[in-house]
Structure 1
Amino acid sequence: MQLPFDPPLAPMLAKASDAIPQTGQWLFEPKWDGFRAIVFRDGDELLLQSRDLKPLDRYFPELAGPLKANLSQRCVVDGEIVITGPAGLEFEALLLRIHPAASRVAMLAAESPASFVAWDLLALDDEDLRTRPQAERRALLERQLADAQPPVHLTPATRDPATALDWFGRFEGAGLDGVMAKPAEGVYQPGKRAMLKIKHVRTADCVVAGFRWHKNGPGTHVGSLLLGLYDDGGRLHHVGITSSFTWDRRAALVEELAPRRADAREGHPWAEWAQWADAGSADASGQRMPGATSRWNRGKDL
């Protein structure tokens, strides 16, 4: 690719905020609950890069044509891959895509096609736009995507905190994850937490049903915890993961979990799912289970 900069590019990140800022110059956008993706396009060459700098192309083959049809010939665009359903965004449908079998990916692409929501323009033709203010990059992106057709979309944006607050409350049930606040004069800072994210927060007392080792500390530091909740019938349901721990806390969790690891799979309601994950397979219905290859595989300990 002949672009102003080469992939991979560490995406600019966000830090949590308790409230939508009411003063200062900000651009507000909905926070999409999907897969972060940076699109590198140079003519017929196209690369979808994930947040962790890995290629996503093979998991979303249905996006290649629409992206080429809607984006400029040579550009780099930051955004989000999402899948929508009758009730709004369906993150679980995205997780099903991270599957080793190309035939299964093709089937899912046909059954529940993905969309790409663009929110930042980082390069256009020979110009690196990362040092341009956010507001200028937004204006350029609006011009580039003025005639965009689904499944490629331009994310809404506003400078009005009241509108952002309305989005925050109105779209929660549709699967949107909150609101993003970006400094209007801010430059693009790869790998830096230079934006704000205001997320919907709900608390719950969950069951720790398993854990995964940290990639930089296997055997010594916990990476993430697999969480579940029991329903009224006593069935344990997967509800998510948590991974926001300090390095010291990750080490302490190893000691706390040690007494519970002996024969942990024996009698565990998800033990069979773990075996499926180790084999790299999924259940016949296609429903993602805890332990599926997308996030929970051989690095997991129930």
Structure 2
Amino acid sequence: MIPASVRFPPEVVLAHAAAQIPEPGVLPGGCRYEPKWDGFRVTIVSDAVVSLWSRRGSDLTGIFPEIAAAGRQLPTGSLFDGELVIWQDDRLSFEALLRRQSTGARGAGRLSRELPASLVLFDVLALDGTDVRRLAYDERRELCELALEHVRPPIALSPMTRDKSVADGWFADMAPAGIEGLVVKGGAQRYLPGRRLWIKVKRRETVDVVIGAVIGPIERPEAVVVGLVVDGELRIAGQSAALRPEQARSLGELLRPPTGEHPWPEVLSPGRLGPFSSAQEPVRLTLVEPVVAEVSADSARTATSFRHSVRFVRVRPDEPLPS
């Protein structure tokens, strides 16, 4: 049985962002580097039945029946932490995961054949009915390796290295496969649910977008709402992180109210600002005359939107709007 000390739905350790890959001695017990998978963070429980839980506490068992079936390979009384992913054309496809999720259990059997998922495990919370979260990461990793030694796809153990030069190579070389970056953990760290103990380092790039609206007053915006031109249409693609005071001041001097009909509404439902927007209520926009800008964005995106907030860099008023 899963020990009573583990609450359900299971809560996981979190990570905080860093701009650079940390040096080996930054975390307690030394740094352990793993690829950052572009998927759904999940926990999988193997007990009398196998169940699959999202980070937010949703039961995903019926949506991914192929993973639940493969989970019967795991030791009884175990609980593992990992990432649910889908490979398409040798690259991770987050869009395919969203399709699986939106279809739900109704079409799960068909989609499990058309868009089969895989589960990459990287930590263990309970094993053989024992709560192992108090153990150091290095000890938990050893338990993972032993427990998963004979487990076959679609479940696999995530790679890990203690060598920063190897991690640097992964960061650069795994980009074509859709790996977002690295997650770094301390060899002596215990598993403390809800705490931001780990470090995530994401690959970022500068992208040209169109600012079509802001949040807050036009003369001192709080954040920008950005768009991308898709099939000749300017579509909302996400929003920026909060602007610094000097950014808000200089941007407010350049922005102007729209001079004609604007393609965007003045009020948005929360989901329109991206799959992972934290907005819970409708968002009121201050529409502006569209202008090209540069933003810094991580690699997590769909074909038409950014999945996380972007960082505003600068306005490009000299650049013509894309058509």
Q: TM-score range by the shorter chain?
A: 0.7 to 0.9
**Which one of the candidate residues 63, 74, 81 is aligned to 1:59?**
63
Kindly, what percent of the aligned residue pairs are identical? 35
Alignment of 1:75 with 2:73, yes or no, is no
Contact 2:2–2:79 (Cα < 8 Å) also in 1: no
* Alignment map for 1:62-211 (pairs within 5 Å): 62-69=66-73, 71-99=74-102, 102-207=105-210
Unpaired segments of 5 or more residues in structure 1?
A: 213-221, 247-258, 278-289
1:98 partner SS: helix
Corresponding residue of 1:13: 14
Q: 1:115 is matched by which residue type in structure 2? A: S
Give the C-alpha shift of residue 62 in structure 1: 1.7
Contact 1:41–1:47 (Cα < 8 Å) also in 2: yes
Most deviating of 124-133 and 16-25: 16-25
Contact 2:78–2:126 (Cα < 8 Å) also in 1: yes
Number of paired residues?
A: 258
**CA-atom RMSD in angstroms:** 3.6
Q: 2:203 is matched by which residue type in structure 1? A: H
Corresponding residue of 1:34: 39
2:176 partner SS: helix
Provide the C-alpha distance between the structure 2 equivalents of 1:105 and 1:111, rounded to a whole number of angstroms.
Answer: 10
Question: Normalised by the size of structure 2, how large is the TM-score?
Answer: 0.69
Provide the C-alpha distance between the structure 2 equivalents of 1:56 and 1:153, rounded to a whole number of angstroms.
Answer: 18
1:202 partner SS: strand
Give the C-alpha shift of residue 236 in structure 1: 3.5
* Alignment map for 1:235-254 (pairs within 5 Å): 235-236=233-234, 241-242=238-239
Change (3 A) 1:227 1:129: farther
1:52 partner SS: coil
Provide the C-alpha distance between the structure 2 equivalents of 1:173 and 1:65, rounded to a whole number of angstroms.
Answer: 30
Provide the C-alpha distance between the structure 2 equivalents of 1:20 and 1:29, rounded to a whole number of angstroms.
Answer: 11
Provide the C-alpha distance between the structure 2 equivalents of 1:228 and 1:183, rounded to a whole number of angstroms.
Answer: 39
Unpaired segments of 5 or more residues in structure 2?
A: 216-221, 244-256, 286-323
Structure with larger Rg: 2
Question: Normalised by the size of structure 1, how large is the TM-score?
Answer: 0.73
Provide the C-alpha distance between the structure 2 equivalents of 1:52 and 1:209, rounded to a whole number of angstroms.
Answer: 32
Deviations 1:249-279 (A, max 9, x none): xxxxxxxxxx89xx97xx559xxxx9xx9xx
Contact 1:3–1:42 (Cα < 8 Å) also in 2: no
Give the C-alpha shift of residue 17 in structure 1: 1.4
Q: 1:47 is matched by which residue type in structure 2? A: S
Identify the structure with the greater strand proportion. 2
Give the C-alpha shift of residue 165 in structure 1: 0.4
Give the C-alpha shift of residue 8 in structure 1: 1.6
Deviations 1:127-175 (A, max 9, x none): 1111100000000000011112110010000100000000000001110
Provide the C-alpha distance between the structure 1 equivalents of 2:111 and 2:225, rounded to a whole number of angstroms.
Answer: 25
* Alignment map for 1:282-301 (pairs within 5 Å): none
Change (3 A) 1:106 1:299: farther
Corresponding residue of 2:227: 228
